[in-house]
Structure 1
Amino acid sequence: MTTVSIDADIKAKWQDGHSSYSPGTTEELAIIGIDLLVRELGTEAAQSFIEQVFEKHLADHKSATDSGLV
C-alpha cells in the first residue's frame, strides 16, 4: 500500500455561508469530497455517483486480474 501525503487548502462557498478544509490524508480528503457531494446533489444522487465510481474500479480491477496484471 502506498502512503500519500496531501497538502491542500479547500474553500467551499455557498449562498448561505462557506467552509474551509485542510485534509492531510486521502481518507480526510474523501470524507470532505463526499460531504460536499451530498450537500450539492443530495443523498440519493451522491450515493448513485459513488456507486458508479466503485463499479468502474471493480471493472478495472477485474480486467487487470483477468489479464494477469494483478
Structure 2
Amino acid sequence: MATVTIDADIKAKWPEGHCSYSPGSPEELAIIGIDLLVRELGTEAAQAFIEQIFDKYPGDHSGTPDTEKA
C-alpha cells in the first residue's frame, strides 16, 4: 500500500468563532472532515452521510492504492 501525505491548511469559520487545521495524513483529514460534518449537520445526519461512503465499498475492502495521478 502506498503512503500518502497531505499538505493542507483548512480554515473553518462560524458565527461563534473559527478553527484552523493542518492535516498531514488521510486519517487526520478524515477526522477533521467528520468533526466539521457533525458540527454542521448534527450526529444523525452526519452518520447517514458517512454511511453512503461505506456503502460504496465491500466490508472486506483492503484499501487498494489509487492508480490515478494528481
Give yes or no for TM over 0.5: yes
Richer in helix (by share): 1
C-alpha deviation, 1:57, in angstroms: 2.3
What is the aligned partner in structure 1 of residue 18 from structure 2? 18
Work out which structure has the larger RCO, using CA pairs closer than 8 Å and 6 or more positions apart in sequence.
2
How much is the aligned-residue C-alpha RMSD, in angstroms?
1.4
Identity percentage of aligned residues: 80
Give TM-score scaled by structure 1 length. 0.80
Gaps of at least 5 residues in structure 1 are 62-70
Structure number with greater Rg is 1
Deviation string for 1:15-68 (max 9, x for gaps)? Answer: 10000000001100000000000000000000000011100123xx6xxxxxxx
Superposition pairs of residues 1-70 of structure 1, within 5 angstroms: 1-58=1-58
Distance 2:10 2:50 in 1: 21
List structure 1 segments (4+ residues) > 4 angstroms apart after TM superposition: none
Q: How many residues align?
A: 60
Secondary structure in structure 2 of the residue aligned to 1:57:
coil
